[in-house]
Chains A and B, each alone.
Chain A
Amino acid sequence: MKNTLFSVAFVGLLGLIPRMAAAQLIQIDGSSTVFPVTEAVAEEFQKSKKGKVKVTVGIAGTGGGFKKFCRGETDISNASRPILKAEMETCKQSGMQYFELPVAYDALTVIVNPKNDWVKSLTVPDLKKMWEPGAQGKVSSWNQVRTEWPNNPLKLFGPGADSGTFDYFTEAIVGKAKSSRGDFTASEDDNVLVQGVANDRNALGYFGFAYYIENQGKLKAVAIDKGKGAILPSAKTVEDGTYQPLSRPIFIYVSKKAYDAKSELKEFVEYYLKQGPQLIRQVKYVPLPQSAYQMNMEHMKKGKVGTVFGGEAEVGVKIEDLLKREAKF
């Protein structure tokens, strides 16, 4: 009995000698918004490689993803927002250079209950009136936004204040990121928001396009009027850039070091950019124009590292303009 224990323990100790991780492994982590896109690409890529290359994807959040990325633990970071100054600093300190690749659009859709018959379209000033910090406790009924609307209570639903969606929406609508009233029903899970709006005639909410498309029967999307006419979000209007300012790009950040070292990573990113568009459509996000992906490829070949956002968020920029900018690192 004793001898068995000792021998098992001995063998166990043998096992504690660290081994090398699997040779061909691509590690990706970051935003759960970008996750469905990367998952689709990873799945197809692995299939096409017949399992010789392994790809893993986590959902630690954009912030958590960048932290791991700057430490060199992941090869690609999924990000629903551009890299911010603090994170740029961290990456600079650890000598991590990266390619910033916009990969798709996530159209933020403003939705109301189907029984809401008074809202035909919304302008940015309308939304600002509803959502700005000054509205807290004051703007609580629909007719305070536009006098011709009924005197029904205004029930607001939105994503949590820690999410990139929240940041982008507030930046686009109120003018400053995170500048919002606090008295709305917030949830991390967009499905909860869907439920909330679907169950309340007086509700208004915003979340990603995919959640609207999957629940079209229960929700009504609102056309946004930025001065050039009211535009409903759809694959077409987002792709051709007319649905503004709520079309936000989502990114992947690729480690230059890993890109140069691992040929399988090169293949994966190329696969992402080539096969991406059709996979992106399958998961109900909107692909960028074809030229954007080609420009991405060129940037990688030329070794153009860094971010064009300067460490801050930006709204309503056309992708082509973005990609032509000088990158800063």
Chain B
Amino acid sequence: MSVNQTDAGYLAAQNQVSSRAHGGTGRKLRERAIEFVLFLCALSSVAITLGIVWVLLYESWHFFANVSLIDFLTDTQWTVLFENPHYGIMPLVTGTLVTSGIALLVALPLGTTIAIYLSEYAGVNAREVLKPILELLSAVPTVVFGYFALLFITPLLQSLLPNLPGFNMLSAGIVIGIMIIPYVSSLSEDAIRAVPVHIREGSYAMGATRLQTSLRVLVPAAFSGIASAYVLGFSRAVGETMVVALAAGTQPNLTLNPLEGAATITAYIVQVSLGDLPHGSVAYQSIFAAGLTLMCITLIFNIGGYLLRKRFREIY
């Protein structure tokens, strides 16, 4: 009986597997050890959160000893740094939401379109060149983006809308949107590319165009990755500091009109912590209360995002 190639290969594999299987307790121990190390790393994320929440809560506790929660949530003015301080967080919240909203309106459509274009339409070489170039957008220091918004985008917008003030949320929102395009486009493009070829080819085999395949087959299949990209982009937009401080200004303003200037929570935090205020004053502690509010806002959005992803995720 001749032992042909396949059998030889099979026997060799069997030998290898057997010898590995006979690794015994040593192997199990190694597995456990590796799992434990990985577990510690995962725990780090929990530790970080606890650290941040601790810092925010500790100082906010002192803040709320001096300022009532009701005032904080309902007062319409945030004039903490002025002589007659008001501690209503709503102006900062609207500033944050409006600029982030504009940023997402810019980044999500553009980013997703770019992702689909790069993965389905562009050739391999074009893709491997364009993707890094776009990723370079996320490498620009935020200070540069801030000045870009102030000195380039705002005058540009002012030529279209003559009454636009020097500080406005539209300019800041647009620039933040452009800044987070790589988050959305690169991560989404990875997700779309990772959809198995047979799913893609099945759709093309049915005669679908690239657009139809993308929108009806690939995007739903890659939904988990795309949604994660959206969530990361949103988080980045909300947490952005320098661009808003420079382009939207630092005057709290309770308004939903993007054509006005307003301060966001992040701009306020940076303004105070790097400013000349004495650390330990109520005004200083207000930045922690503001930070805590921001965390609560992002938490709500992230829980929503998680539930959405869970619902619509496709497993193949």
Contact = CB atoms under 8 A, between A and B. Distances in A.
In the complex, is A directly touching B at CB under 8 Å?
A: yes
A186 B250 contact: yes
B246 A63 contact: no
Contacts of B284: 63
B278 A161 contact: no
Interface in B237-286: 245-246, 249-251, 261, 271-281, 283-284
B150 to A, nearest CB: 7
Interface string B138-181: 00000000000011000000000000011100000000000000
Contacts of B79: 182
A259 B165 CA distance: 50
A161 B276 contact: no
Interface in B277-305: 277-281, 283-284
Contacts of B82: 133, 161, 178-180, 182
Interface residues of A, number: 41
A64 to B, nearest CB: 7
Nearest to B274: A61
Given A185-B166, A187-B250, A161 B280 contact: no
A256 interface: no
A306 B250 CA distance: 34
Interface in A22-68: 31, 59-64, 66-67
A63 B83 contact: no
Q: Is chain B's interface secondary structure helix, strand, loop, or mixed overall?
A: loop
A167 interface: yes
Contacts of B276: 31, 61-63, 80-81, 162-164, 167
B280 A90 contact: yes
Contact of A161 (B81, B167, B261): B81
A199 B245 CA distance: 20
A185 B251 contact: yes
Contacts of A133: 82-84
A61 B275 contact: yes
Contacts of B251: 182-186
B83 A189 contact: no
19 contacts: A61-B274, A61-B277, A62-B276, A63-B278, A87-B278, A87-B280, A161-B81, A162-B271, A163-B276, A170-B83, A178-B81, A178-B83, A179-B83, A183-B251, A185-B167, A185-B251, A187-B250, A189-B246, A199-B166
Given A160-B275, A188-B275, 19 more contacts: A61-B274, A63-B278, A64-B273, A64-B274, A66-B279, A80-B276, A81-B276, A84-B278, A133-B82, A133-B83, A167-B276, A178-B82, A179-B83, A182-B79, A185-B165, A186-B249, A186-B251, A187-B250, A188-B245
